[in-house]
Structure 1
């Protein structure tokens, strides 16, 4: 008597459970379609526009973050260095080169979920921008990323062995438009050394 309703309830529970798990997995697997890849850096210019695909819209709704409009800016993230090795906090890195044209850019380290990494000390720089970074006469810059202090431009990351992301946001940039992306270049990310090497 209760066998048929029990089988139906079990089938519905399994179906809804697998549907929810596959949706969560799909949202964590990708930000959306239409990525721009410039070396280790990747951006999704359509993610914050009306023309965003359903995955990008779902990311926006799930995260509850205010995204830049298409004409306001573009956020690039890097999970690996220029040699395609994962970024980890027990290594030291150097970002060198120039950015695409922008009125302002910002750079910070984030965890794998995109949340800014906390600094071990409130007096150390956990973020840099175009106005605070020292540049050479040709406009190139070099930023060292390490858990211990370094001369010149230094971005502090916490100690440990955790993977992290680098997040560079270009504000008021023509890069956010649909044209001219092919000829752009982002700075390279070089691994200098690691604490366990």
Structure 2
């Protein structure tokens, strides 16, 4: 009976320690404003924590010459993303052949009546200078809008075939800003 109790307690402590580790930035995480990434996604150099995070979150990671995945759980001021607020993602095209920004809740696309889940380089409206602003949350509507509904959410910025400036220095790549506009 003691052996069973020790096994159960040991297993529970192991699961708890793993979950706590995965809730925080794993080793090797690079931040760039509100965006973070790991250059070991999809590589043999990935440590056990990164592999566990990829397995839990269902990310099918390509190697970094094919794609770099940035994620944001907070805005540019460090506040958690909240679906009761409206955000503006603004900037110019990141140095990549193609990119997209997608909203998720608990690792899943967020159901919404507009069936809008992301924006991308080829389907975004631009201003006269070639820049863009994407509204996240609220009831903005239009081509540059991602509805999220109430509750916490995250954003994923995927850069496919990233250019030399991103590959050489992903912590200083020119990525879009993510600012809170208002809250209801």
TM-score normalized with structure 2 length: 0.87
Residue 64 of structure 1 deviates from its aligned partner by 4.5
In structure 1, distance between residues paired with 2:56 and 2:147? 29
C-alpha spacing 1:181/1:15, structure 2 compared with 1 (3 Å): closer
Supply the RMSD in Å over aligned alpha carbons.
Answer: 2.3
Instruction: Indicate the residue corresponding to 1:15 in structure 2.
Output: 10
Instruction: Indicate the residue corresponding to 1:135 in structure 2.
Output: 126
C-alpha spacing 1:17/1:62, structure 2 compared with 1 (3 Å): same
SS of corresponding position for 1:86? coil
C-alpha spacing 1:95/1:86, structure 2 compared with 1 (3 Å): same
Q: Deviations over 1:77-136 (max 9, x none)?
A: 11111111111111111111124201111111111x3322112x1x44221100111122
Matching residue within 82, 87, 92 for 2:81? 87
- The unaligned stretches of length 5 or more in structure 1 are 1-5
CA contact (8 A) 1:97 1:140 kept: yes
C-alpha spacing 1:146/1:65, structure 2 compared with 1 (3 Å): closer
Matching residue within 83, 94, 100 for 1:100? 94
Matching residue within 120, 140, 145 for 1:149? 140
**Which residues of 2 match residues 103-118 of structure 1 at below 5 A?**
103-111=97-105, 113-118=106-111
Q: Please say if 1:186 is aligned against 2:181.
A: no
**Aligned positions, number:** 184
Instruction: Indicate the residue corresponding to 1:3 in structure 2.
Output: none
TM-score normalized with structure 1 length: 0.82
SS of corresponding position for 1:131? helix
State the structure with more CA Rg.
1
Residue 189 of structure 1 deviates from its aligned partner by 1.1
**Which residues of 2 match residues 29-68 of structure 1 at below 5 A?**
29-30=23-24, 32-68=26-62
